[in-house]
Structure formats: structure tokens, C-alpha cells
Structure 1
């Protein structure tokens, strides 16, 4: 299979490229390198382009002729989305529209789309499954929900087959240790904790300590990036099954919730020393608890996390931070 990874120089995208290669597939990357890292895709076939420029897609798609598209090119910072919503509707909605139209023009009919639990908004039950109401509380969530709807409509009307994967908090790093999570600016909890542990920042800020949770801190479901990639491979295979619908939707998560403070304490165990921190005000648009109900992915795709232990996830990320290449 030939797979074009949109956003393949980013954190999850670069891990997906490795997973596809290990599975024996022919892979190319489409990326504008606004946040991705060239070092993560050295030696690979790369189309440098932007989803907001249809001509870039019209160059890449006929040249590579992929059997499968995988989309990882969203803007994904909740706080930024509340301050600069136009960036999110532009990239995450218009960019996906352009991709879908390019796929129609060039006869590409398979898509795996990276989505998010942010589409659910405030949880109404302990485990968030695919039937949970979608009522985002931030612009990022709305932009991804709008993109999902466009994809579903394209499946109904244009013959597209797509799998939308709503996942929670990706974390960890590839076992080889040469690719990992590095954003600029860095807003994700675990890499910020480990940057402090590595001496690259003075302290980590924890946002809010008076949520209605067991210890007052936000609770999140962390899933190892390699487990996410395994699910994408299974979802891609499922698109070939005639007995499954053209539009498929799956949650991906461990089904366990860890508070921000629990993640910090677990990281201190992994690195073997205290990690300086301070508590700041809560961020707008952050729900108190997000924990996945992922039984559908288990039953339909046959997927299950293989690296579900929090210390195992943190340890893999710590190896990357200690030998960081970019």
C-alpha cells in the first residue's frame, strides 16, 4: 500500500510514518513544516506543501498516487484556539475541505483522520464513548467536529471511505528514541514536565487546582503514541472491509484517568528526583475530566493498548528527552 501522511513531520505523524514502514508500506510525507521537524523525516520522500494551497495537493497526489491518506495536520492548541479562532477554522476546516476536494479530483478514496476528544466538551458520564453528545467548549474542538462532518458527508455523497479516530492525550516516544514530542511553544503536560527534568526550563506550570476531581487537578486519559499508530493501521485495514460502513468512528484511549498532579509525581519516580512546579490559574476551555470509552475499537478493530502503564509511557518519553535530536 502507498500511504501519504499529511503532517508526517509532526509528533504523531512521524511516528505513524515509522509504523507504516515497519508494516511494509510505501510512505511519503506532505507537510508545510510550520510545526513539523525536518530531522524527523530525513531520508524520506517529502512533498513540502500546505493544505491551504490546493495547487500543492494537485502536485503531490498525482505524483505519488497514494492508496491511503492519513491526516495529522491540525492546529491543536486549546488556548490558542480561543484567542485566534480564525487560525483554527482556516487550517482545520478549510484545509480538510481542500484535501477532500483534491481526493475527489484525483480519485483517492481512503482516509484515516486524526480527531480529538475535544469534540465532546464537558463529559456527562464516567467513560466517554462514541455516542456521547458532541458539544465542544473550545474552538479547537469545534474545528475538528466541523471537519468530521465534512468527511462524513463526503463518505455519503462521493464514495469516500474514512475512519475518524477521536483520541485523548497522546504521549511517549518510539522505542528507537530518535523521534519524540517537541513543539514550539510547548503546551503539552508531559513534555513540559520532562523539559524541566532535563534542565531546559526552570519549572512546570500546572493549570488549575480546584477542579471537581479527586485531587483538584484535571484528569486525562494518556495513550502511548505507538498504540495510536497501531490503531491507525487497523483502521486503514478496516476501510477495505465491505461489511463495515463507509464512515467509521472510533475513540482511542486507555480508559484510565490520571490527574495532572499524578502525572507529575509519576514523572518524578521515572527521573528519580523532584521536578519543580507551580500552580497557575485554570485555562479557558479545559474540561475537568476526559477519559475514553474505547470498547468499539477493541471489538471492531481488534485493538488494545500495549503500553498502558503510565510509568512506561513516561519512561519512553524521558529516553527521547535525554537524547533529543530536534
Structure 2
């Protein structure tokens, strides 16, 4: 297939793009590089530097695309609460422009990178796809709006679509040629890479936001998934998409780890001290998010190969030390 990967210079998008290239697909990456690095685009993929709003300049009727994998979006929940206009414009308005471009070009297959943040602060765990969607931050709301738009597009215009909802992605994709794809955000907002920076002496200390949540140790609990496992799920979803259907799958290990447990794992893996500072809660942070992936396992045949937190941290640490 000829596929367009939006946001394909990002962490997850570049990992999926690499697997697509390795599987023999023709891959075009669309990324504005505002927060990503062109060096992450895999060899064998063609990069087009453009905003998601301008997808129609690439998705032309004669371009011959068969499918789109959509990762282009802002992901920082905290930022979304103080600059909501950025997230609504990029995540939602940009995605609507993409759907328009796909419809005009006759491209009828889509895999969307959604999020478990669409569920908000759930009353029952682990999260299933039937859980109530009630996001508590703007980021989750923008993604839910896109999910709803995709469902309408599938119903009205025979789009074959799959939304994959996941929360904390970590680790590094280790490839057969010895190269790696890992997490490099600027600025970095995710717990594990920040913790690794502290362990390596690049930061003075790690801030944990809130220790008074209704969890066993008072800190937030999240379900971490290895980026390699997540990337494989996107390829399975691409094959599973069916015209007129919008399927939603939660992806997770089914086991949650608290911020303090992540700190302990980083200390164990790196062998370095990790100074921690407790900070006030951030707006829009649910206490606990753990996803059930039972439907994905049953319908997509997806099984995470690296569910253990220490394996995830170890791969992230290897990538960090490689300087890639």
C-alpha cells in the first residue's frame, strides 16, 4: 500500500513509519517539524514538511494513496489546559481538514492515534471501550471530538477507520540493523525520559505532581506500553479496517504503575540516584488510568511483547545512553 503517515517524524509516528517501510509499503511522512526532528523519519520514507491543515496538498486525487495513519497532534495535557486554542486548532481543526482531504482524494482507510485521556477520570478499571467518555482535560476533549468525527465519516462516507486509544508510551524500538527509535521531545514532558535525564545528571531533580491522589502511594497511576508493541498494533489495525466501520481499541498492559513505582524502576535500571521533589497537582490529571486490551487481543490478535515496566525503562535507557 501507499500510505501517508501524518506526524511521522514524531516518537510513535516514526516507529510506525519504520515498520511500514520494513513491511514493503510506500511511505510518505507529513510533518511540520514544529516539535519533531526530520532525522527521525526512517530511510525509505519521503518527508513532506507541511501542517496537517494542508494535507490536501499531498492527498491529491491522483497521488495514489491507499491509507492514512494519523499521528499529527499536540500531546501535552498540561499545556492543553493553559493554551487550549493550540490543541483545538491542531488536533481537531487539523484532523477535520485531513478528513476533508481524504474524502476528496478517495482515500478510504484510516488509523487514528487517539488516547485513553478521552475517558477522563474513570469510575471503573481497567478501562474498556464501553467506558463513559468524559475527558477532564482539553487534550482528551480534542481527541474525542476527532473520534466522533471519524465515526460520522465512516457512517456517511464508507470510511474504514480504527482509533487506537492508549496513554503512556515509553521505551525504544530496537531494530534488526541495530538502530533504535526512541523518545525525544523538545520540551520533554513525559515521566520516564525526564527521570532518565535526572538519573544521568542532566536535570537536578524530578517533579512528581501530586501525592494526595486516592491511590496506594498517593501518586498517579498509569498504564505504560512499549512503543514497539504500540507500533505493531497500528499495522494490525491497518489490515483490520473495514468500510463503513469505525472500530475503537484500547491498548495497554492492563497493569498500572504509580509515579513512585516508575521512579523505583528507573533507579533500579540505571543504578543512579534520582532526587525527587513533590509538586502540586496539575489541572486535568486523572488519578488512575489502566486500559483493558482484551478487545484488541481478540480481534486484532495483538499481544504486547514487552509488558514489564523494567524492560520498557531499560530500552529507554539504552536509547538515551546511545545519544541517538
Counterpart for residue 111 of structure 1:
110
Instruction: Render the CA deviation track for 1:121-162: whole Å, top value 9, x for unaligned.
Output: 111112110000001111001100001111100000012110
TM-score in terms of structure 1 length: 0.95
Counterpart for residue 102 of structure 1:
101
CA distance in 2, matches of 1:67, 1:272: 47
Cα distance, 1:130–1:113 mapped onto 2, change above 3 Å: same
The answer to whether structure 1 residue 183 and structure 2 residue 185 are counterparts is yes
Deviation, structure 1 residue 42 = 5.8
Counterpart for residue 218 of structure 2:
216
Deviation, structure 1 residue 22 = 2.1
Deviation, structure 1 residue 47 = 1.0
**36-45 or 166-175, which moves further after superposition?**
36-45
Unaligned runs of 5+ in 2: none
Counterpart for residue 208 of structure 2:
206
**212-221 or 60-69, which moves further after superposition?**
60-69
- SS of aligned partner of 1:187: coil
Counterpart for residue 237 of structure 2:
235
Counterpart for residue 284 of structure 2:
285
Deviation, structure 1 residue 294 = 1.1
Deviation, structure 1 residue 63 = 6.5
Deviation, structure 1 residue 164 = 0.4
CA distance in 2, matches of 1:128, 1:60: 35
Contact 1:208 1:218 in 2 (8 A): yes
Deviation, structure 1 residue 64 = 4.4
Map 1:1-326; keep pairs closer than 5 Å: 1-41=1-41, 43=43, 44-53=45-54, 56-62=55-61, 64-175=63-174, 176-240=178-242, 246-325=245-324
Deviation, structure 1 residue 212 = 0.5
Unaligned runs of 5+ in 1: none
Deviation, structure 1 residue 3 = 1.4
Instruction: Render the CA deviation track for 1:22-52: whole Å, top value 9, x for unaligned.
Output: 2222211000001111111264311111112
Count of residue pairs brought into register by the alignment: 320
Deviation, structure 1 residue 62 = 4.7
Instruction: Render the CA deviation track for 1:194-253: whole Å, top value 9, x for unaligned.
Output: 11122221111111111110111100000001101111111111015x7xx611110000
RMSD, aligned CA:
1.4
Contact 1:198 1:321 in 2 (8 A): no
CA distance in 2, matches of 1:32, 1:315: 31
TM-score in terms of structure 2 length: 0.95
CA distance in 2, matches of 1:90, 1:209: 33
- SS of aligned partner of 1:74: coil
Deviation, structure 1 residue 20 = 1.0
